[in-house]
Structure 1
């Protein structure tokens, strides 16, 4: 019984990533919610997942290539989820423990070596601790964490299922 094809999942995952990125841009440009550096890194993770999902949808890879696409999507979900987890953690800190606000990402990219920028961004700052938006009691980083977990787990589950189905035929 063919319940749900992996190729269709790849397409849906790519569409989800595009929609999430579209909403992030909408919230930035129409709702005037400026993204902090951690938000920007989460967007990059969704771009990564979306690109690999689109590759999977277009080429419908089999065998080791299917596992390569799934692995690359899962890496994006894990990295994005870790960044979102850190972001949610920062938002939950008591006010007296929130780190000072630092320079903007563009300034850091212009003046610091890449690894220093990465370290500084992942540490987070006061701008990352501010909750600007909520839906059903969850902040935007909390929702991105939910999406990263969901995209990663469903991709792994459907890839394993597809491998088992093909192993029986």
Structure 2
């Protein structure tokens, strides 16, 4: 399995597929915001940043998937973004549960990006906070957007970890040898 994963990570089409899925998630978030008028909270924006990080990782690897250093950089960014997104999605699920149980909680109203990465200032249409945390306006199969984001980020994280671990396996040059 690890040899197959490593071999796939050295080809362009799996990285293109990763880029397309991350882009699809970004576009879905923008559709919910601009077409359905579901305004993103701070946690939603941070989850968008995580999807953007995965997209960036895939684009980085697309440049030269056979380059070991570039592939490791892309895998590290992919894994880090997925873990960050998983953390933010879990936080949002927790907020939703507290509010559903009648509790009270709040979250920040403004993004706290570092000055060297002021995404909310550079691309406010994508990364500006316009909503508050905890409102469950949409569900599918009994999961909110935060719940689905948690599932997706966990899947991205497990995939990235497996592919990262596969980089330490050897691929035989002779296809007839095991």
- TM-score (norm. length: structure 2): 0.74
- 1:96-115: per-residue Cα shift (whole Å, max 9, x none)? 3221476x327x88xxxx9x
Matched, 1:17 2:22: yes
Q: Measure how far apart 1:13 and its partner are.
A: 1.2
Match of 1:5 in 2: 8
Match of residue 96 from structure 1: 102
Q: In structure 2, what is the equivalent of residue 51 of structure 1?
A: 56
Deviates more, 1:52-61 or 1:11-20: 52-61
Q: Out of 31, 36, 42, which is 2:47 matched to?
A: 42
Q: For structure 1, which runs of at least 5 residues remain unmatched after alignment?
A: 115-125
Counterpart contact for 1:49–1:77, Cα < 8 Å: yes
- Name 2:122's counterpart in structure 1: none
Instruction: Find the counterpart in structure 2 of residue 139 from structure 1.
Output: 144
Structure 1 residue 162: deviation in Å? 4.8
TM-score after normalising by structure 1: 0.77
Q: 1:64 to 1:135 in 2, by over 3 A?
A: same
Q: What is the RMSD of the two structures over their aligned residues, measured on CA atoms?
A: 2.6
Deviation string for 1:41-69 (max 9, x for gaps)?
Answer: 11011101111111112321433432221
2:84 equivalent among 75, 79, 83: 79
Write the distance in 2 (CA, Å) between the matches of 1:162 and 1:143: 29
Instruction: For structure 2, list consecutive stretches of 5 or more residues without a partner in the other structure.
Output: 119-130, 174-178
Would you tell me which structure has more helix in proportion to its own residues? 1
8 Å Cα contact 1:77/1:152 also seen in 2: yes
Superposition misfits of 4+ residues, deviation over 4 angstroms: 1-4
The answer for the alignment partner of 1:119 in structure 2 is: none
